[in-house]
Amino acid sequence: MNRQVTLRVNGVTQQHSVEPRLLLVYYLREVLGLTGTHVGCDTSQCGACTVLLEGQAVKSCTILAVQADGAEITTIEGLARDGKLHPLQTGFWEEHGLQCGFCTPGMIMAACQLLERIPDPSEAQIRHGLAGNLCRCTGYHNIVRAVQHAARKLLETKQR
């Protein structure tokens, strides 16, 4: 028995009739075609599916689309504004914070929330803040650098 859901995704209102068992991540990927959000595991460990729900980083493989009814969602596709990359996106690029790129969207979304909460995080705080996101390529070294890079840029912008 399908249910009607209305969400605001990357600033656009979406209304669809979905199966109650449809996971939010498959709603984003297969109903909306936002394939930047990835699925890397089936037990909520890897964090590749991380999106922002009402500004909070959530694993979209662990929430049903119907549970997100009425929510505001931001995915990796909605991060750049007016064709300008988010400082986290440039940070990951500048610091070589990605290799295969599969974990990257989730990693960036998790880092978004981290910098929201702690604008000037220590290395330990970055590592702790990303503990729910796994990367098998980078050893996290340049991911830490990327987040530090973004934190610097965001602070500079604020101070201006």
Partner 1 sequence: MAAPAVGSRIKRREDPRLITGTGNYVEDVTPAGTLYMALARSPHAHARLRRVNVKDALQHPGVVAALTGPEVRQIVDSVPCVVDFPDLKKPKWPVLAVDRVRYVGEAVAAVVATDRAMAVDAASLVQTDYLPLTAVTDPERALRPRSTRVHAEFKDNQAWYSLTEAGDVDSAFREAHVVVKQRLVNQRLIPLAMETRGVVAQYHAASGLLTVWSTSQNPHQLKSQLAALLGLPENQVRVIAPDVGGGFGSKIDVYCEEILACIFALRLGRPVKWIEERRENFQGTIHGRDQVDYVEVAAQRDGVITGLKVKVIADVGAYWGFFSPAIATSTIGLATGCYAIPNFRGELYEVFTNKTPVDAYRGAGRPEAAYIIERAVDLVALELALDPAEVRRKNFIGGPFPYATAGGMSFDSGNYRAALDKALQSAGYQRRRSEQKRLRQRGRYQGIGLSSYIELCAIGPWEMGAVRVDAAGKVTVLTGTSPHGQGEETTFAQIVADQLQVAVEEVAVQHGDTAVVPAGIGTYGSRTTAVGGSAVLNACLLVKEKAFKIASHLLQVPEDRLTFAQGTFAVKDAPDRAVTLAKVAAQAYTGSVPGAEMGLEASAYFEAPNLVFPFGTHVAVVEVDPETGEVKLVRYVAVDDAGNIINPLTAEGQVHGGIAQGVGQALMEAAVYDESGQLVTGTLMDYAIPAAEDLPLFETAFTVTPTPRNPLGAKGIGEAGTIGATPAVVNAVMDALAPFGIRHIDMPLSPERVWRAIQESAKARPARRRGPSARRRGS
Site residues (vs partner 1, CB under 8 A): 19, 21, 26, 29-30, 34-43, 45-46, 48, 75-77, 79-80, 85, 89, 92-94, 96, 98-105, 108, 123-124, 126-128, 130-131, 133-144
Residue 41 tokens, joined = 């595991």
- Closer residue to partner 1, CB minimum distance, 5 or 121: 121
First to last CA, the chain: 53
Name the minimum Å distance from CB 109 to partner 1.
10
CB of 33 to partner 1, least distance (A): 9
Q: Which is nearer to partner 1, 5 or 34 (CB)?
A: 34
Q: Whole-number minimum distance, CB 6 to partner 1, in Å?
A: 23
Which lies closer to partner 1 via its Cβ, residue 39 or residue 155?
39
Between 5 and 50, CB nearer to partner 1:
50
Q: Which is nearer to partner 1, 70 or 125 (CB)?
A: 125
Strand pairing report for 50-53 and 12-18: unpaired
The minimum distance between CB 111 and partner 1, in angstroms, equals: 11
Could you write out the three-class secondary structure of the chain?
CCEEEEEEECCEEEEEEECCCCEHHHHHHHHCCCCCCCCCCCCCCCCCCEEEECCEEEECCCCEHHHHCCCEEECHHHCCECCECCHHHHHHHHCCCCCCCCCHHHHHHHHHHHHHHCCCCCHHHHHHHCCCCCCCCCCCHHHHHHHHHHHHHHHHHHHC
Least gap, CB of 55 to partner 1 (angstroms): 18
